Amino acid sequence: MKQAADALRYDEATDIAWTELVAASGWPEAELAELVGYGVIAPRDAAAPTWTFEARTVVVARTAWRLRCDFELDPYGVSVCLGFVERIAALEDEVRRLRAQLG
């Protein structure tokens, strides 16, 4: 019988390195660095010699890559679009929370 593999959460995983983020996201390194420049993706310490990120950043970067490919956007367009996507997600969380409380 095949052994089950563990599915990992992002909020419990340890931080990830810049190289891991590049590999997992699909982005060319220079363009991903451009997104960091626009503030869409934030390193733990931007002044550190090597950047590390919250593990959840992978989800953001992969969403950004999908938006780039599917809408044929440049990195700046992605950064604007991603801001709205994240804002919608936060509002949906809020709606879900309020609905749970209201019944």
Partner 1 sequence: MKYKDYYAILGVARDAGADDIKTAYRKLARKYHPDVSKEKDAEEKFKELSEAYETLRDPEKRAAYDRLGSHRPGEEFRPPPDWGGEFRQAGGGFDGAGFDDVDLADLFASFTGRRGRARPRADAPMPGSDYEAVVRLTFEQAFAGAEVDLELAVLEWDSDGGVRRVPHRVKARIPRGVTDGEKLRVPNKGGAGVNGGPPGDLYLDIEVAEHPLFRMSGKDLYMDLPLAPWEAVLGTDVDLPTPGGSVRLTVRPGTRAGQQLRLAGRGMARGSGAPGDLYALVRIEVPTVVDDRQRALWRELAQSARFDPRAHLSQESGR
Q: Residue 61: which H helix or E strand, with range?
A: helix 57-71
DSSP H/E element including 34: helix 29-37
Least separation in angstroms between residue 61's CB and partner 1 is: 12
91 interacts with partner 1 by CB under 8 A: no
SS3 assignment, position 95:
helix
Looking at the Cβ atoms of 45 and 92, the one nearer to partner 1 is: 92
Of 20-28, 29-37, 38-46, the window that binds partner 1 (rule: CB under 8 A) is 20-28
User: Does residue 14 belong to the site contacting partner 1 (CB under 8 A)?
Assistant: no
36 or 60, CB closer to partner 1? 60
* 75 and 26 Cβ atoms separated by less than 8 Å: no
Q: Can you read off the two tokens belonging to residue 43? A: 């390193």
# residues near partner 1 by CB under 8 A: 36
Q: Does 99 bind partner 1 (CB under 8 A)?
A: yes
